[in-house]
Every structure is written in structure tokens, then in C-alpha cells.
């Protein structure tokens, strides 16, 4: 049964725990939900786990699939490059009416990242953003330290030029990709909890060669998937509330 948290008087946000579910059928369900929703349809967050699968975003390049082997590859309609889903990872799909919520996709991405950062903080870790690279990262040598990253996003100067993301000393703990259709979002974020990380060696994670991927377990936090999913659901409910 979904747990329901009100985001305004008329349209609640529903958080659904789906358990271990097939990726393809879940993706189809997200598309169906989005195509059929109307002005009074409640926004939803789907929390789930997937069997092993690589997913390739719309901008995905084949050279980032190094050696997929026996793990299936699904080419999806979300943004971003290639990532991996597997047991021990919490996936949160955010099905939000952006027009009703009052924010655009860039702010949606920020809010989802903020929910992940607050979830990590709940478990004693400090998540970070990196300029030019969506997702959430941890310091490998000091995952609980609060010192700000020099490579964090900062306001660019009027004459500034974009540079390649700098992942020095970092490991990626959460990957994010969004699709917007009819002003409504789907897909979402994947947070690594306690999983077999070796499949990431078969790809360039999120299109970045050499990017290290970590989970809460490798960073010294031993916690159940259900605990992390529960906290992440709470934080997403708060962060995705419509503008008032």
C-alpha cells in the first residue's frame, strides 16, 4: 500500500514501495502513468530495486559500454549516459507535475540531489555536487567531512568557460537522469547502498572514464536497503513539495 504525504490541500504526493521489480516493465509503467495523468493526478515517488541492468540515456555513446557481457543493456529515453542498476541499490522514480509544482527541470534535479544529500547526512555521510556533472559524490578519504569541495558548482563569471568535471578524490554514490513529457517528469535517481560494484568496471559510469563508484557500505555505513529507502522517501517528499 502507498504511504501518502500531503503536499497541498488537494493533491497529495504518494510514496510507493515496489520492492524488486523488472526495469523494462517499470519504465513502461512510468510512461503509462505519465501519459494517462491529468490535472488532479497525485504526484508519486516509486521506490524500488532492480535486477542487474545497464541503462543508456538518450545522449548515450556506445564507447562508454566497455564490456557489458551477460548484463542486459536497455536504451531508455532519460537524460544522461550509461549507468548500472542492481540489487543493493535504492532507485527512486520521481513522477512530478512540474507545471503544478512551479519549478523547471533544473530545479527538479537540484531538489532530488538535495534529498539524497540530506539522506546521506542522516546516515553520517556528507554528499557533494560537482560542477558539470549531475548526481551526488562522496570524498573517498573523508566521507563524513563537511569541508566544501573546490570543484563544487559555483556561479560562473560573465566570461567564464565550461570545464570538464573534476572527480579527483571522489566517488559517485548516486546517479540521476530525468525525462519530461507534457510538463511531467519521470525516471529519477539511484542511490548505492550495499551492492556488487564490479559491474561499474564494465562501463564508463555516466560517460566518465575512470570515475570511481561507491556505496554506503564501502564508505563504512552498514544499513539496510529498506532503512535508506524509507529516509530517502521522506526527504524527497519534503524537497518535491510545490512552491507555495
Instruction: Give pLDDT tens digits for 24-63.
Output: 999 999 999 999 999 999 999 999 999 999 999 998 899 9
The CA-atom distances, in angstroms, between 190 and each of 12, 55, 77, 135 are 23, 12, 16, 9
| Active-site choice (206, 225, 231, 232) | 206
Evaluate whether residue 204 is within a structural domain.
yes
Evaluate whether residue 73 is within a structural domain.
yes
H or E stretch at 12: strand 12-20
Evaluate whether residue 244 is within a structural domain.
no
* SS3 state of residue 186: strand
Give the CATH number for residue 51: 3.30.930.10
Q: How far apart are CA 78 and CA 92, in angstroms?
A: 14
pLDDT at 164 over 50: yes
Query: Which runs of E-coded beta strand occur in 60-183?
Result: 73-75, 82-85, 89-95, 128-130, 133-139, 170-181
Domain total of the chain: 1
Per-residue pLDDT, averaged over 64-91, amounts to 96
Evaluate whether residue 222 is within a structural domain.
yes
* pLDDT value at residue 5: 44
Per-residue pLDDT, averaged over 162-187, amounts to 94
Q: How far apart are CA 38 and CA 152, in angstroms?
A: 38
Instruction: Give pLDDT tens digits for 105-158.
Output: 999 999 999 999 999 999 999 999 999 999 999 999 999 999 999 999 987 644
Evaluate whether residue 94 is within a structural domain.
yes
Evaluate whether residue 130 is within a structural domain.
no
pLDDT band at 162 (very low <50, low <70, confident <90, very high): low
206 has catalytic annotation: yes
* SS3 state of residue 182: coil
Residue of 215, 239, 212 lying closest to 225 (CA atoms): 215
Q: How far apart are CA 133 and CA 166, in angstroms?
A: 9
Per-residue pLDDT, averaged over 220-231, amounts to 98
Evaluate whether residue 128 is within a structural domain.
no
Q: Which value, to the nearest 10 degrees, does the dihedral of the CA atoms of residues 43, 48, 53, 58 take?
A: 10
Instruction: Please give the grid coordinates belonging to residue 68.
Output: 557489458
Q: How far apart are CA 58 and CA 202, in angstroms?
A: 19
11 Cβ partners below 8 Å, 6+ apart?
40, 41, 42, 43, 100
Evaluate whether residue 148 is within a structural domain.
no
Whole domain around residue 52: which residue ranges? Answer: 3-123+175-239
- Is 112 within 8 Å of 189 (Cβ atoms)? yes
Q: What's the order of all strands across the beta sheet hosting 133-139?
A: 3-6, 12-20, 43-49, 89-95, 184-192, 170-181, 133-139, 128-130
Amino acid at each position: 500500500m502507498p504511504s501518502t504525504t500531503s503536499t497541498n490541500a488537494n493533491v497529495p504526493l504518494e510514496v510507493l514501495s515496489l520492492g524488486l521489480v523488472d526495469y523494462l516493465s517499470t519504465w513502461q509503467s512510468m510512461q503509462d502513468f505519465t501519459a494517462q495523468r491529468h490535472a488532479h493526478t497525485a504526484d508519486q515517488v516509486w521506490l524500488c530495486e532492480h535486477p542487474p541492468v545497464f541503462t543508456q540515456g538518450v545522449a548515450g555513446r556506445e564507447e562508454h559500454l566497455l564490456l557489458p557481457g551477460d548484463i542486459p543493456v536497455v536504451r531508455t529515453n532519460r537524460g544522461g549516459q550509461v549507468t548500472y542498476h542492481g540489487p543493493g541499490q535504492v532507485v527512486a522514480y520521481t513522477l512530478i507535475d512540474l507545471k503544478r509544482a512551479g519549478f523547471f527541470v533544473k530545479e527538479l534535479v537540484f531538489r532530488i540531489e538535495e534529498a539524497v544529500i540530506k539522506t546521506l547526512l542522516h546516515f553520517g555521510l556528507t554528499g557533494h555536487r560537482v560542477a558539470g556533472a549531475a548526481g551526488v559524490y562522496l570524498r573517498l578519504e573523508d566521507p563524513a567531512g563537511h569541508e566544501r569541495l573546490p570543484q563544487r558548482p559555483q556561479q560562473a563569471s560573465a566570461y567564464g568557460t565550461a570545464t570538464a568535471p573534476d572527480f579527483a578524490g571522489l566517488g559517485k554514490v548516486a546517479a540521476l537522469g530525468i525525462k519530461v513529457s507534457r510538463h511531467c517528469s519521470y525516471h529519477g535517481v539511484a542511490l548505492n547502498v550495499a551492492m556488487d560494484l564490479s559491474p561499474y568496471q564494465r562501463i564508463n559510469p555516466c560517460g566518465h572514464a575512470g570515475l570511481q563508484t561507491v556505496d554506503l557500505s564501502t564508505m563504512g555505513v552498514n544499513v539496510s536497503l529498506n532503512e535508506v529507502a524509507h529516509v530517502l522517501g521522506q526527504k524527497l517528499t519534503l524537497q518535491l513539495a510545490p512552491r507555495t
